[in-house]
Amino acid sequence: MKLNNKHAINNTVHIKHSWKDKLFQIIAMIVITLVAAGCVIPFLLILSGSFSSEAAIAVNGYSIFPQDFTLDAYKTVLSLGNRIPKAYMVTIFITVVGAGVGVILTSMSGYVLSRSDFKYRNVAAFFIYFTTLFGAGLIPSYLVNVNILHLNNNILVLIIPSLLSPFNIFLFRNFLKSIPDALMESARIDGAGDFKIYWKVMLPLSKPAIATIGLFLALAYWNEWYRCNLYIKNPDMYTLQYLLYNMLQNIEKMFSEQGLAAVGIQIPSETMKLATAILATGPVLVFYPFVQKYFTGGLIVGGVKG
Amino acid sequence: MLSKMNGKTRWFSDFRKHKTYYFMLIPMVVFFILFAYLPMPGLYYAFVDYDFMRGLRSPFIGFKNFEFLFRGGSQSIIWRLTKNTVLYNIAFIALGNLCQIAAAVILKEIKQKYFVRVSQTLMLMPYFVSMVIVGVITYNLFNYNYGIINNFLNSLGFEKYDFYQNPVVWPFIIVFVNVWKGLGYGVVVYLAAILGIDESIYEAAYVDGASNWKRIKYVTLPLLKPTVIMMFLLSLGGILKGSFDLFYQIIGNNGLLLNATDIIDTYVYRTLAVNFNMGLGSAAGMYQSVFGFVLIMVVNTTVKKLSPDNALF
């Protein structure tokens, strides 16, 4: 009887516990669902707006669900000469070249900094780190880029200044430090030189870190608008994001340049902005769920500290 | 003299032994010299009345630019800029970290792993888009004629609200947008820290009959506390740095809203691209760099005293 009683108590405790936990699980999932929805809905807003007709938006305003379905906005955007294809070419070019070269230079610097037989590694690390503590600021940098390096209106200004960052270099160095030294030593005994060890041993082993840094770089290049705004005057070298920004600022002017307004076509300017936004950011939103694991994986392994 | 010679020969012998290392570092050294160190002498522009035609030979005017920025005490330009920059950053840091930690802590307790993965992916979405897109979104939400919010107010029978004419609402909107954009990234970082906590502690708590809520309260949060305090302290070091692209894409050069939304970085940008008063801009930039440097040093020394492992350098 005594034993039975004890058992019963245990049972109730267990039931009470799981009842509370179940409630917690439900509330937790509702909260997270709401937050996640809040992160996605704005994009659905743009998407549905880009498929709506200008008239529907003029009457009802923007909405989360499409009010009607038309491809007019996309057709008009693509009829704007070859601005969009050109911007795609520029953006793809700087993304591929920038991320490729950036990964090689970052890994090379990170590798040397991680070598314990390199005597001046701390000096070199401080040389890099100091730039995060103190900088000259926008105007002196602008004047150097324009007056000394002559990068004004040059596509290289969209690539070169973002190739290296202290964050990426230290991330790569920290990742390499987690690779056992013995591997390096055995390669050295086999007669491999410093560069060969980097190229044949370290690079293949550091794929997760390379994926992470490559992804950071590619994302930054794809989303580039800031330097384009400062340095690029020639519309043939606009990046997608800057083209979009420019369009938001003066869409009417663009039409008059193209001579479309004069023909008397009704301009779907509001939906056009949304269609361009979708064209500019679509590839990122399609790709990122697939590459997300590299992004989080390498970030955690490399650690963030300088 | 002798020691100097020694130093030189030592460097040379090291160079001969590890030539490859030095060659591999060349791109990095050139890069940081050109883009970080070469602009530094340009701080001199803070002391000139900048003239585009004359560049470095612009007339030297001493501290006149700083006098202009600091004139008027609490009405001065620099006071308004500093106040805005610092207050926005404090709001970003406090609210941002709070939301990220809350989401990460909740995600840790949820048992459906598939749900956790999908919701994490969705939360990262804003992180991956450019600020230009964020600008499009805020415009669609708040604009007077077609904006969703005004639509909604209208359909409920309320009067429309002209957000872009009213500075009071924008600090809230900007802080909200910033928290929204950084949420997913922060969740990744904090969830990694939480998953680093020894799982056997959770198992022990479970055996002792601790509910989800109790495990959060007595295991996760206390063990996360040191990390949070350190990250908070370290982020105070960057409190004078503004996120230019956020403010510029949401507000632009809208003069009506500037009083409530102008930060040091947007001011400097306008002196370069709108007013062409680069001497003033350089002075504001120098103020930001120097005080930012002092701030980081103070923060780092403090952190070093509290916990040497977490110090930046």
Residue type, A177: K
The answer on A255 and A167 residing in a single domain is: yes
Cα-only R_g, chain A:
27
pLDDT score at B8: 67
Nearest 5°: the CA angle A86, A89, A93 is 145
Rounded average pLDDT over A211-237: 94
User: How far from A271 is each of A48, A56, B53, B126, B235, CA to CA, in Å?
Assistant: 10, 10, 44, 21, 40
Contacts of B27 in chain A (CB under 8 A): 105, 108-109, 164
Low-confidence residues of chain B: pLDDT under 70:
1-8
Q: Are residues B140 and B186 in the same domain?
A: yes
pLDDT at position A13: 46
Residue of B14, B15, B129 to mutate for A, most A C-beta atoms under 10 A: B129
B176 part of contact set with chain A, CB < 8 Å:
no
- The answer for B 98-157 residues in CB contact with A (under 8 A) is 103, 106-107, 109-112, 115, 118-119, 121-126, 128-133, 135-137, 139-141, 145-148, 150-151, 154
What residue numbers bound the domain in which A103 lies?
72-302
The answer on A190 and A142 residing in a single domain is: yes
B31/B116 same-domain check: no
Residue B307 falls in which region: left (phi positive, over 0), alpha (psi -120 to 50) or beta: beta
Is A117 found in the same domain as A14? no
Q: What total number of domains does chain B contain?
A: 2
* Shared-domain flag, residues A24 and A95: no
Is the domain of A253 the same as that of A120? yes
C-alpha angle B273/B262/B130, rounded to 5°? Answer: 70
> d(Cα B105, Cα B120) in Å, to the nearest integer?
13
Residues A124 and A245 in one domain: yes
Confidence (pLDDT) at A179: 85
Testing the interface with B: which of A9, A139, A157, A285 to mutate, by most B Cβ within 10 A?
Answer: A139
pLDDT value for B213 = 86
CATH of the domain at A197: 1.10.3720.10
Q: Are B16 and B96 contained in the same domain?
A: no
Interface touch A109/B24, C-beta < 8 Å: yes
Q: Indicate whether B225 and B126 sit together in one domain.
A: yes
Q: Are residues A96 and A169 in the same domain?
A: yes
Cα gap B107→B120, rounded to integer Å: 9
Under 8 Å between Cβ of A248 and A240: no
CA-based nearest residue in chain B for residue A22: B212
Which candidate, A24, A264, A283, places its Cα nearest to that of B133? Answer: A283
Q: Residue A62: CB partners within 8 Å, gap ≥ 6?
A: A45, A49, A52, B140, B146, B147, B148, B151
Residue B266 lies in a domain: yes
CA distance A98 to chain B (A): 14
**pLDDT band with cut points at 50, 70 and 90 for residue A240:** very high
Written as six digits, the tokens of A84 are 């969009």
**Do B184 and A139 lie within an 8 Å CB cutoff?**
no
Query: A109 and A251: one domain?
Result: yes
* Same domain, yes or no: A44 and A107: no
- Give the one of B128, B151, B293 whose C-beta lies nearest to A62's C-beta: B151
Say yes or no: A61 contacts chain B, CB-CB below 8 A.
yes
- Regarding whether B197 and B85 lie in a shared domain, the answer is yes
Residue B192 lies in a domain: yes
Range with top average pLDDT, A97-111, A272-286, B50-64, B147-161: A97-111
Min mean pLDDT across A64-73, A252-261, A294-303 is at A252-261
A128 Cβ under 8 Å from any chain B Cβ: yes
User: What pLDDT shows up at residue B22?
Assistant: 92
Find chain A residues with C-beta within 8 A of B20's C-beta: 193-195
Instruction: Determine the Cα–Cα distance for residues A228 and A251; give it in Å rounded to an integer.
Output: 18
Whether B151 maps to a domain, the answer reads: yes
| Position A218 in a domain | yes
Poorest-pLDDT segment among A60-69, A73-82, B43-52, B179-188: A60-69
Q: Are residues B289 and B148 in the same domain?
A: yes
Give pTM, 2 decimals. 0.89
Is there a single domain that holds both residue B133 and residue B209? yes
Q: Which residue of B130, B181, B208, B248 to mutate against A (max A Cβ within 10 Å)?
A: B130
Q: Do B90 and B171 touch, CB atoms closer than 8 A?
A: no
> How many residue pairs from chains A and B have C-beta atoms closer than 8 A?
267
Q: Does B266 touch chain A (CB under 8 A)?
A: no
Question: Same domain for A11 and A147?
Answer: no
Residue A75 confidence (pLDDT): 86
Do the Cβ atoms of B77 and B69 come closer than 8 Å? yes
What value of ipTM does the predicted structure carry? 0.90
First to last CA, chain B: 32
State residue A223's pLDDT score: 95
The residue with greater pLDDT, A77 or A105, is: A105
pLDDT of residue A253: 60
Number of domains in chain A: 2
Does residue A206 lie in a domain region?
Answer: yes
CA distances from A149 to A161, B36, B176 (A): 11, 13, 39
Computed over every residue of chain A, the mean pLDDT equals 84
Angstrom distance (rounded) from CA B280 to CA B282:
5
Distance CA B89, CA B178 (A): 10
CA triplet A100, A105, A109: central angle to 5 degrees? 150
Contact yes or no for B177/B250 (Cβ under 8 A): yes
Closest by Cα among A148, A144, A290, A272 to A215: A290
Within this chain, do residues B143 and B242 fall inside the same structural domain, yes or no?
yes
Structure tokens at A72: 């007019």
Residues B81, B30 share a domain: no
Pure H helices in chain A: 2-50, 54-60, 72-79, 83-114, 121-133, 138-143, 156-159, 166-177, 181-189, 194-196, 203-205, 207-222, 226-231, 240-249, 251-258, 260-263, 269-302
Question: Are B203 and B77 contained in the same domain?
Answer: yes
Structural domain span for residue B29: 2-38
In angstroms, the separation between the Cα of residue A264 and the nearest Cα of chain B is 23
Residue (of B95, B121, B100, B232) closest to B173 by Cα position:
B95
Residues A31, B180: C-beta atoms closer than 8 Å: no
Extract the tokens encoding A289. 């769920």
Say whether both B18 and B110 belong to one domain: no
Q: Which residues contact B108 (CB under 8 A, 6 or more apart)?
A: B191, B194, B195, B220
Token pair recorded at residue A179: 């690779």
Same domain, A187 and A263: yes
Q: Which residues of B touch A242 (CB under 8 A)?
A: 132
Which comes out higher in pLDDT, residue B104 or A265? B104
CA distance B289 to B268: 12
Verify that A76 and A44 share a domain, yes or no.
no
List the one residue out of A265, A244, A248 whose CA is nearest residue A256: A265
- A133, A138, A171, A269, best to mutate vs chain B, most B CBs in 10 Å: A138
Shared domain check, B126 and B16: no
